[in-house]
Amino acid sequence: MEFILVILLMSIISIAILPQWTATTLNVEFEARRILNDIRYTQALSMATGQRYRWVRTSATTYQIINSAGTALILPSGSTQATLTSNVSFGAFTNLPNNLIAFDSTGTPYTDTGSPGTPLAATAIIPAVIGSNTRSIQVTPSTGYGALQ
């Protein structure tokens, strides 16, 4: 009898916890993919227009895409700033000392807004974090290729 009660109790607990665990994992995955897509969009804008664009972290949970004149673009949400949702935030950036990644007309990544600027010398890492779950975006030097890790 006690064994059945223990099994029943464990079943109830697992049913209650599983949706929260799955939602947390999905939230960080969604946000990491959105960040990666917006970085790729920034690079594509630079290559298509021949102008510098940059993806900039503006706070622990927000970022913007800015043109060479310093004007933030209007994003699909209708705002000039994207906000991470569901308690997702940025972790510590690696190899991006100015919290931005800029692209020139060939898609080459830079770590500052200067012209010609400082090229990205080592793989940049942009982590999206929620609790103990982390999904990282990596951008490679020279090509600016972005991928999720």
pTM exceeds 0.85, yes or no: no
Which residue range is the domain that position 76 belongs to? 2-148
pLDDT tens-digit readout, 30-67:
999 999 999 999 999 999 999 999 999 999 999 999 99
Q: Over the chain, what is the mean pLDDT?
A: 89
Query: Quick one: CA torsion of 70, 76, 79, 82, rounded to 10 degrees?
Result: -80
Average pLDDT of span 100-107? 97
pLDDT of residue 5: 64
Task: In whole angstroms, give the CA distance from residue 55 to residue 109.
Answer: 10
**Which residues are bridge partners to 135 per DSSP?**
128
Which tops the pLDDT comparison, 17 or 117?
Answer: 117
> How many structural domains is the chain composed of?
1
Assign residue 26 the CATH number of its domain: 3.55.40.10
Contact 41, 143 (CB under 8 A): no
